Amino acid sequence: MEKTKYSIKNHSKYLLIKFWLISTFIITVLIAQDKVLYLVNEEPTKMKRSDSEWKRILSAAEYHILREKGTERAFTGEYDGHFEEGTYVCAGCGNKIFESETKYRSGCGWPAFYNAIPESVQEHEDNSFGMRRIEITCSKCDGHLGHVFNDGPQPTGLRYCINSVSMDFNPSDKEEQK
């Protein structure tokens, strides 16, 4: 009788431990899954910097255009009449935004492209200055780049009108070997 009592007590202890282990396991799995979901849902490698960090990193002109949505004066930009082979990157974070093959002479006074590198830029409605425009920002650092209009050449019919100050240029390997 004594023995049976003992084994029942032992058995319930065993059940309790088993229950505890299983629930710990389930909770761990749930936490892990949540973490995975969080990672999947997170925006792809957004660069977040404080305003003072941007001020320290960027030149005054870059800060004004990229962070304060400024615009350089027409026909003054470094890349307006620039037609070398290579890739244009965001001056704020180095994100590749335009290929030289898509650049064309629009005559508008700013560098113009008929297409952006996929997922490199984001569009936002911009109703400032009494105009309805589509603002273009860098998808990585949210820096202001310029605007996109519907009067571009084929194949897209788009004109990405971009501030030179918002970009840096990386010549292609072919160009570097010259």
Active-site residue list: 161
Q: Which is nearer to Fe ion, 106 or 137 (CB)?
A: 137
| 132 exposure class (CB count in 10 Å sphere: 0-12, 13-18, 19+) | exposed
Question: Shortest gap between Cβ of 77 and Fe ion (angstroms)?
Answer: 17
Question: Shortest gap between Cβ of 22 and Fe ion (angstroms)?
Answer: 48
Question: Shortest gap between Cβ of 83 and Fe ion (angstroms)?
Answer: 23
Locus of tokens 């990585």: 140
45-64 residues in contact with Fe ion (CB under 5 A) are: none
Binding-site size, Fe ion (CB under 5 A)? 8
- Candidate list 58, 65, 93, 136; residue touching Fe ion; CB under 5 A: 93
| Pair of tokens at residue 171 | 């010549």
Report d(CA 146, CA 143) in Å as an integer.
Answer: 10
Q: Which is nearer to Fe ion, 113 or 177 (CB)?
A: 113
Neighbours of 138 (CB within 10 A): 24
103-162 residues in contact with Fe ion (CB under 5 A) are: 138, 140-141, 143
For 2, the 3-state DSSP assignment is helix
Q: Which is nearer to Fe ion, 90 or 161 (CB)?
A: 90
Of 111, 113, 72, 63, the closest CA to residue 91 belongs to 63
Is 90 among the residues that bind Fe ion (CB under 5 A)?
yes
Of 79, 75, 104, the closest CA to residue 90 belongs to 79
Q: Which is nearer to Fe ion, 53 or 151 (CB)?
A: 53
Residues that bind Fe ion (CB under 5 A): 90, 92-93, 95, 138, 140-141, 143
